[in-house]
Amino acid sequence: MFRNTKRRTAGRKNFEAPVFSHGTLDSYLNNVYHGSKLTFYTLPPAGEITLDEFETWAIDRIKILNEIESCSVRNKGYKEIESIVQPMIQSTLPLNATNPEKLNKERQKDYYSHFILRLCFSRSKELREKFLKNETILFKIRYNALTSSEQQQFVKSLDMPWEFTTEEEKSALSQKLYASISSSLIYLLNLTDEQQRRAYFAQEEFIKIPFEYVAHLLPSRSVFLSKGTAYLPKFQQLQLLLNEYNQKLSTALISTSHAFPSLDEDDRILPILTHLSSGALLNLNDNEYGLSENASDINAVSVASKEIVSQFPLCGQHLMATLQTNHHLKYNGRQQFTLFLKGVGLSLEDALTFWANEFTKSMGLDKFNKEYKYNIRHAYGMEGGRINYKPWDCRTILSKPRPSKSDSHGCPYRDFSADALATSLKGMGLDDRDVQQVLDMSGKGEYTNACTKVLETKIGGGLNEHVVHPNLYFDRMRAHTKQKQQQVAADA
């Protein structure tokens, strides 16, 4: 399915997939898409792609799925999710090129990225459920972006066991059909007026489908059933498609999980899949944080001020509080906090002053210079290999050993007890309802989602990104605070 442009593949197993000519690839992609912009991904991918494409295509798709997950966790409605995710789809996974060659490349990326992520997400029940939910939402967003004619073209390509009723059939069953959908017209389409409902019914088409495909609708009596055939209004067509897509993908993921052990012999794929699946859980993000955009007033004194510290994420606030209480941090805590403050905008000179001011409250200056000054300079790339170390992102923090009782590094959403976390959140100004939501997320292992929820609560909503880096939290919180200050000054 893929090729490595830099490594020899001779003698490797599982590398007998055919290399398609351009024409054959065209035929294959037309067969899986049937001229549509959607597919149920029923045929396995064939042909070759590079390992670089294997990873980068999957990462692009993971970013979209992670954004859907983030929006869902923050209780955003479907319309909000659609408005946020649609631009990402057009940017990274479009299927609308007019040039045939470019369209084939878009289709190939979409098709392969889906199957690559099946491998990543099939390895545990948690990952399978997450992938299933978010891929179904992605399918729904794409379907709703199609024109009516494109939607019907896609439905015809599926060869589903349904057909539309004729006008004669609808007329003969009109009373029973109307009775079956009347409540749905009220609660789903908000048509409270009887005349409106009658007018809608007169224009609506109905689908005939074997009842087993809509068994979930039978208890609610929202479907008319006759002789094993169910009659549904066209406006429920999307739900039929979502159910079918969800069922097929669920079955495929189970099959993939059974086949996964056969990949153990391939040392090219497994490291990539491991990296991708960890990114799926922790949410990949392209942003690298070096110096904050809002760092002009950050110095050795102001960085410890109440105003600045209140804009730190909880991990930063905890490290600062521990440092100011004990006038010392153990190694992992020093590493995490030094690089975080570097990302906040603290210069090397101010960093040395800041750390010396705190540490010399519990030791002499000579000891500080001898045992700790070098490590701070090293973190800023001024000693040793002179590497410009970047602040730790959430993935790095969570990969470190859990802190012992005397440690202060790590992620509070993972490492604090429920009582300690609740107390800290209330100290940040969250009300009981928001505190409980954050505790629930942390209890499920959704640590970055919990941090994102806190930031969104602090800035009053409107956050359209996921916190996967402590310095991202600070940047957004700092920008929000400055905006509020400027507004107050303008109103004065």
> In this predicted structure, what is the pLDDT of residue 264?
56
Which region among 142-146, 187-191, 312-316, 388-392 has the lowest average model confidence (pLDDT)?
Answer: 187-191
SS3 385: coil
Check whether 451 is labelled as a binding-site residue.
yes
Exposed/middle/buried for residue 202 (C-beta within 10 Å: 0-12, 13-18, 19+): exposed
> In this predicted structure, what is the pLDDT of residue 383?
85
Contacts of 446 (CB under 8 A, 6+ apart): 73
- Tell me which residue of 294, 330, 285 sits closest to 312, measured CA to CA: 294
Cα 444 to chain centroid, rounded? 16
For residue 125, pLDDT over 90 is answered with no
**Percent of the chain topping pLDDT 90:** 52
pTM over 0.75: no
- Tell me which residue of 207, 185, 206 sits closest to 194, measured CA to CA: 185
Residue that has been written with the tokens 């806190």 in this structure? 454
Measure the CA–CA gap between 159 and 155, rounded to whole angstroms. 7
**Which pairs with CB-CB distance under 8 Å and at least 24 residues apart come from 176-184?**
176/224, 176/226, 177/201, 177/206, 177/224, 177/231, 179/224, 180/221, 180/222, 180/223, 180/224, 180/231, 181/222, 181/233, 183/222, 184/222, 184/233, 184/236
Question: Does residue 333 contact residue 397 with C-beta atoms inside 8 Å?
Answer: no
> In this predicted structure, what is the pLDDT of residue 39?
94
Q: What ranges make up the beta strands (E) of 108-199? A: 163-164
pLDDT (mean) for 189-209: 89
Check whether 120 is labelled as a binding-site residue.
no
Check whether 71 is labelled as a binding-site residue.
no
pLDDT (mean) for 467-486: 92
SS3 152: helix
Domains of the chain by start residue, with CATH: 25-157+248-277 (1.20.930.80), 163-237 (no CATH), 302-491 (no CATH)
Which region among 8-17, 58-67, 118-127, 324-333 has the lowest average model confidence (pLDDT)?
Answer: 8-17
Measure the CA–CA gap between 315 and 333, rounded to whole angstroms. 10
Q: What ranges make up the beta strands (E) of 71-183? A: 163-164
pLDDT (mean) for 303-314: 96
Which spans in 348-393 are helix H? 348-359, 365-371, 373-379
pLDDT band per the 50, 70, 90 thresholds, residue 160: confident
Question: Does residue 463 contact residue 452 with C-beta atoms inside 8 Å?
Answer: yes
